[in-house]
């Protein structure tokens, strides 16, 4: 009875013939074949490898196939056909060992301790040539790089494997009777619960793929600065308010805080209504002169006392005691017996005390202030008849100087068409405010003709210059006007 043995237990045969038989295992099936068939198979594959040829010059590119090797016996070079062309890959060292080194060989790649610079080393296991330079070996040529062999024959089809399982999904839990087969898996994409494998027609309870809540992570780095938002725009001036320019969103701008930009009526503001309640009505105020005003109106009059700044003998004394005021402030200046008491009010625009135009009579010769000269003298005006005086009588002329070096000259001529002012300091006239007359012009020097054309500002003058002013009355029957020079000292 035969005994099964391993292949390694079988004895080795020393010789074979073409008539001998052998065993071949192919695709899990056992076959026998003759050694004659094996020899035919071997012979058919001999030409598939690289061919090595010799000569004294490179072959033509039409000779050989890619991967073939040519050794030039005349100069000791190795050439290989690559991409249809013969290329020299390596040159054997010359007899001068000091120049080209020595040819070494061995099994395996050379170590760094083998050979010297310019030596050649041939790995007999792989057919790879190495050359040593700067103390290190590097590959320069390989005899292994032959052409790719022909594609093998297609193998037999394999046996069918077991039926595969399916991973199903849906937005609700699977039905035991309608969904899937045993072995399948099912994912609920709404809750991320995985069911399966289905066993005995049942899906089971499933496993949630959502893990436990993790710990709070570390604070991330600060992000980049964002684009500017639609916040309050820059710019604007003190007292202005932010308002919409039109109905478009974010189209805002800085507006003056004035009644023209406000909606509604003043009486809509309760605080303003209460404030107006403390004022004397302009229609019923005539009762004050009759002393028949009511108790409520008397209370309103009491509030006026806060603006009264007292009685003084000179304008200089008033200005020294009250260098600054507010709108509504007033005071009286009376130089004594024989002098008319005059009321001065605070001018908030120019920050100066101005003579009230509502009181006083025509001045006499002693009331003309220094620095002002009328081209019709006081004596000449008083010597005229009443009709003549109606055209030449002078009203009050006042010089005002404040601490900001702004100088205002207020002149109220009557019947005169030319006056002059002596300037104590050098400076310039910035503007002329005139009522009751038109076309004012300025000159320096003496009375007489004036330059043609309209007046331009600023108009400069030096210290002790006399500035002459001319104008045309709007109403010759009245022949009075009010002139105010606004100047600035240097």
Into how many domains does the chain fold? 3
Query: Quick check: is 68 in a domain?
Result: no
Query: What CATH number is given to the structural domain containing 447?
Result: 2.60.120
Read off the DSSP letter of residue 297: H
Query: Would you give the distance in Å from CA 375 to the centre of its chain?
Result: 68
Q: Are 350 and 332 in contact (CB under 8 A)?
A: no
Query: Would you give the distance in Å from CA 85 to the centre of its chain?
Result: 63
Q: Residue 177 pLDDT more than 80?
A: yes
Confidence class for position 113, pLDDT limits 50, 70, 90: confident
Rounded distance between C-alpha atoms, residue 460 and residue 487, angstroms: 9
Query: Quick check: is 429 in a domain?
Result: yes
The CA-atom distances, in angstroms, between 340 and each of 127, 293, 314, 316, 334 are 136, 29, 12, 17, 6
Q: Residue 171 pLDDT more than 80?
A: yes
Instruction: Give phi and psi for 318, each to the nearest 5.
Output: -65, -45
Q: Do 407 and 482 sit in the same domain of this protein?
A: yes
The predicted pLDDT at position 165 comes to: 82
Rounded distance between C-alpha atoms, residue 292 and residue 290, angstroms: 5
Instruction: Give phi and psi for 488, each to the nearest 5.
Output: -140, 120
The CA-atom distances, in angstroms, between 477 and each of 378, 415, 473 are 21, 10, 9
How many Cβ atoms sit within 10 Å of the Cβ of residue 5? 8
Query: To the nearest whole percent, how much of the chain has pLDDT over 90?
Result: 8
- Retrieve residue 102's tokens: 């020595």
Q: Do 346 and 414 sit in the same domain of this protein?
A: no
Per-residue pLDDT, averaged over 479-485, amounts to: 76
Q: Are 171 and 188 in contact (CB under 8 A)?
A: yes
Q: Residue 3 pLDDT more than 80?
A: no
Per-residue pLDDT, averaged over 301-323, amounts to: 78
Q: Are 334 and 313 in contact (CB under 8 A)?
A: yes
Query: Quick check: is 145 in a domain?
Result: no
Sign of the CA dihedral 361, 366, 367, 371? positive
Pairing label, strands 77-82, 85-91: antiparallel
Q: Which of 324, 355, 386 is the last residue of a domain?
A: 355
Query: Quick check: is 14 in a domain?
Result: no
Q: Are 29 and 40 in contact (CB under 8 A)?
A: no
Rounded distance between C-alpha atoms, residue 280 and residue 482, angstroms: 29
Q: Which of 36-40, 109-113, 296-300, 462-466 has the lowest mean pLDDT?
A: 296-300
Q: Which pLDDT tens digit goes with each residue over 255-284?
A: 887 766 666 666 677 777 676 666 655 544
Q: Do 351 and 415 sit in the same domain of this protein?
A: no
Query: Quick check: is 129 in a domain?
Result: no
Rounded distance between C-alpha atoms, residue 468 and residue 373, angstroms: 9
Sign of the CA dihedral 192, 197, 198, 203? negative
List the one residue out of 460, 423, 463 whose CA is nearest residue 442: 460
Q: Which of 148, 176, 199 is the last residue of a domain?
A: 199
Query: Quick check: is 461 in a domain?
Result: yes
Q: What is the domain range of residue 464? A: 403-489
Per-residue pLDDT, averaged over 78-105, amounts to: 76
Confidence class for position 367, pLDDT limits 50, 70, 90: very low
Q: Residue 359 pLDDT more than 60?
A: no
Per-residue pLDDT, averaged over 343-350, amounts to: 76
Query: Quick check: is 474 in a domain?
Result: yes
Q: Do 407 and 351 sit in the same domain of this protein?
A: no
Rounded distance between C-alpha atoms, residue 277 and residue 300, angstroms: 9
Q: Residue 93 pLDDT more than 90?
A: no
Q: Do 350 and 422 sit in the same domain of this protein?
A: no
The predicted pLDDT at position 393 comes to: 31
Q: Which of 321, 340, 355 is the last residue of a domain?
A: 355
Query: Quick check: is 340 in a domain?
Result: yes
Rounded distance between C-alpha atoms, residue 94 and residue 76, angstroms: 8
Mean pLDDT across the chain: 74
Rounded distance between C-alpha atoms, residue 365 and residue 386, angstroms: 17
What is the pTM (predicted TM-score) of this model?
0.26
Confidence class for position 179, pLDDT limits 50, 70, 90: very high
Query: Would you give the distance in Å from CA 18 to the centre of its chain?
Result: 92
Task: Transcribe 166-189 into DSSP letters.
Answer: -EEEESSPPPTTTS--TT-EEEET
């Amino acid at each position: 009875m035969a005994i099964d043995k391993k292949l390694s237990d079988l004895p080795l045969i020393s010789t074979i013939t073409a008539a001998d038989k052998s065993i071949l295992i192919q695709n899990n099936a056992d076959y026998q074949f003759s050694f004659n068939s094996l020899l035919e198979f071997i012979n058919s594959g001999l030409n598939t490898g690289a061919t090595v040829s010799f000569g004294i010059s490179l072959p033509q590119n039409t000779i050989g196939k890619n991967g073939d090797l040519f050794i030039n016996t005349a100069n000791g070079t190795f050439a290989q056909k690559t991409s249809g062309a013969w290329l020299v890959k390596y040159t054997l060292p010359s007899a001068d060992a000091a120049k080209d080194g020595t040819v070494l060989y061995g099994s395996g790649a050379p170590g760094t301790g083998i050979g010297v610079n310019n030596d050649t080393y041939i790995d007999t296991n792989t057919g790879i040539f190495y050359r040593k330079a700067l103390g290190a070996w590097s590959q320069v040529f390989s005899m292994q790089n032959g052409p790719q062999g022909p594609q093998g024959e297609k193998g037999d089809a394999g046996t069918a494997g077991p039926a595969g399982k399916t991973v199903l999904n849906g937005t609700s839990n699977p039905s035991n009777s309608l969904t899937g087969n045993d072995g399948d898996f099912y994912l609920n994409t709404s809750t991320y619960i995985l069911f399966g494998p289905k066993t005995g027609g049942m899906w089971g309870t499933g496993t949630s793929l959502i893990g436990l809540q993790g710990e709070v992570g570390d604070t991330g780095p600060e992000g980049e600065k964002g684009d500017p938002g639609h916040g309050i725009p820059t710019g604007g001036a003190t007292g202005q308010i932010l308002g919409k320019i039109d109905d478009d969103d974010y189209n805002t701008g800085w507006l003056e805080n004035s009644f023209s930009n406000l909606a509604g009526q003043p009486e809509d503001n309760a605080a303003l209504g209460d404030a107006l309640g403390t004022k004397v009505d302009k229609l019923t105020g005539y009762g004050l002169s009759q002393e028949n005003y009511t108790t409520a109106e008397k209370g309103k009059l009491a509030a006026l006392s806060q603006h009264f700044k007292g009685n003084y003998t000179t304008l200089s004394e008033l200005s020294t005691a009250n260098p600054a005021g507010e709108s509504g402030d007033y005071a009286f200046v009376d130089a004594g017996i024989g002098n008319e008491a005059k009321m001065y009010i605070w001018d908030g625009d120019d920050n100066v005390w101005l003579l009230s135009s509502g009181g006083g009579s025509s001045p006499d010769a002693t009331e003309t202030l220094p620095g002002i000269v009328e081209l019709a003298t006081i004596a000449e005006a008083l010597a005229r008849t009443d009709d003549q005086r109606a055209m030449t009588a002078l009203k009050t002329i006042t010089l005002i100087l404040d601490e900001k070096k702004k100088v205002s000259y207020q002149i109220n001529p009557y019947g005169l068409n030319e006056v002059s002012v002596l300037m104590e300091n050098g400076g310039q006239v910035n503007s002329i405010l005139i009522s009751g007359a038109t076309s004012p012009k300025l000159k320096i020097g003496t009375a007489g003709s004036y330059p043609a054309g309209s007046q331009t500002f600023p108009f400069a003058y030096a210290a002790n210059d006399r500035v002459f002013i001319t104008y045309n009355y709007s109403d010759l029957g009245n022949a009075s006007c009010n002139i105010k020079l606004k100047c600035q000292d240097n």
